[in-house]
């Protein structure tokens, strides 16, 4: 088990959470350079309405104009993670691991696979069958079928084998906000949420506990 500092940030603006991640990442990298082991971190957060575009994304996938964004009280921010465009907002659990992959013995590909596995096993707890879609990151419902729909987006940055960004799991998210974008660049696939799939109200706190348990089991984390 690897010790990790777990912090629930509550609801926080996207750029505030980004700045914290960047600070922690640089601290870990500096420690590695100087032969010092800094602590790994796992951050949970809920963001106000915001659309983020990854560094390799296509801005054409942002379908709404400035006035529409203002009407929805949403921001549009270009970020330094992988992946295309996605939405963050209330009712969505956003998870940012800031960890040294070398301490865990993983490459980036295995790390992303394990993040997907955390979500897939979490969904099982709520009676939902999630899976992977070939050629795409994230977790999907009914992947490979005409009704494939995304329930969790994943986009990470890795600098010197230290990670930031992570995944966003739709729990009770207002899915109408996804109509302003081509989610993750897809024009032929939908999005969904835990509540949409179960037809029940699901407390975000309950989902957090389930996700934490899977970080223990799948990534071997011990929380402080």
Pick the CATH number of 2-223 from 3.10.290.10, 3.30.930.10, 3.40.30.10, 3.40.50.970: 3.30.930.10
Confidence class of residue 104 from pLDDT cuts 50, 70 and 90? very high
Q: Among all residues, which ones are annotated catalytic?
A: 184
Measured distance CA(146)–CA(189) in Å, rounded: 8
Measured distance CA(44)–CA(144) in Å, rounded: 30
Q: Which residues contact 13 (CB under 8 A, 6 or more apart)?
A: 47, 48
Q: What is the pLDDT of residue 136?
A: 87
Among 94-98, 149-153, 182-186, 192-196, where is mean pLDDT lowest?
A: 182-186
Domain boundaries, the chain: 2-223
The predicted model scores a pTM of 0.92
């Amino acid at each position: 088990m690897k010790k990790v500092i777990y912090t629930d940030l509550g609801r926080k603006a996207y750029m505030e959470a980004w700045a914290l991640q960047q600070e922690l990442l640089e601290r870990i990298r500096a420690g590695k350079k100087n032969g010092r082991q800094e602590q790994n971190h796992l951050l949970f957060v809920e963001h106000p309405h915001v659309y983020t575009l990854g560094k390799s994304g296509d801005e054409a996938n942002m379908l709404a104009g400035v006035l529409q964004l203002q009407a929805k009280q949403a921001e549009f921010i270009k970020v330094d993670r992988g992946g295309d465009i996605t939405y963050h907002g209330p009712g969505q659990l956003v998870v940012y691991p800031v960890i040294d992959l070398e301490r865990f013995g993983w490459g980036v590909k295995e790390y992303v696979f394990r993040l997907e596995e955390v979500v897939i096993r979490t969904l099982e707890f709520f009676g939902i069958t999630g899976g992977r879609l070939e050629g795409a990151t994230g977790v999907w419902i009914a992947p490979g079928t005409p009704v494939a729909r995304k329930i969790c987006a994943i986009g990470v940055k890795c600098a010197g084998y230290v990670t930031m960004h992570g995944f966003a799991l739709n729990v009770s998210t207002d899915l109408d906000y996804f109509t302003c974008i081509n989610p993750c660049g897809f024009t032929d696939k939908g999005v969904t949420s835990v509540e949409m799939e179960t037809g029940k109200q699901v407390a975000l706190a309950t989902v957090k506990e389930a996700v934490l348990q899977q970080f223990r089991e799948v990534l071997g984390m011990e929380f402080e």
